[in-house]
């Protein structure tokens, strides 16, 4: 299983994290763990980088890099 960590910007609270986790899991079928305090999301599963970025940015957040 592939594991990726993305740096994000625009997260303000736990609800932001929960939204991102839910959308990634629902739309891409991956396991996601988002930490708003650290501004990162950890993703486990087979998903295309461009699709991950698209799902996150459709929710109004920005992917600023990979960790």
- Can you list the domains of the chain with their CATH numbers? 3-66 (3.30.70.100)
C-alpha R_g of the chain: 10
Model confidence over 10-61: pLDDT tens digits?
Answer: 999 999 999 999 999 999 999 999 999 999 999 999 999 999 999 999 999 9
Mean pLDDT of 5-13: 97
pTM: 0.93
CA-wise closest residue to 21 among 66, 64, 67, 59? 59
Q: Are 50 and 25 in contact (CB under 8 A)?
A: no
C-alpha 55 chain-centroid distance: 8
């Amino acid at each position: 299983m592939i594991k990726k960590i993305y740096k994000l910007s625009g997260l303000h609270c736990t609800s932001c994290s929960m939204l991102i986790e839910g959308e990634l899991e629902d739309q891409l079928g991956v396991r996601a763990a988002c930490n708003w305090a650290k501004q990162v999301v950890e993703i486990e599963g087979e998903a295309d980088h461009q699709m991950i970025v698209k799902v996150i940015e459709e929710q109004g957040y920005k992917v600023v890099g990979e960790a």
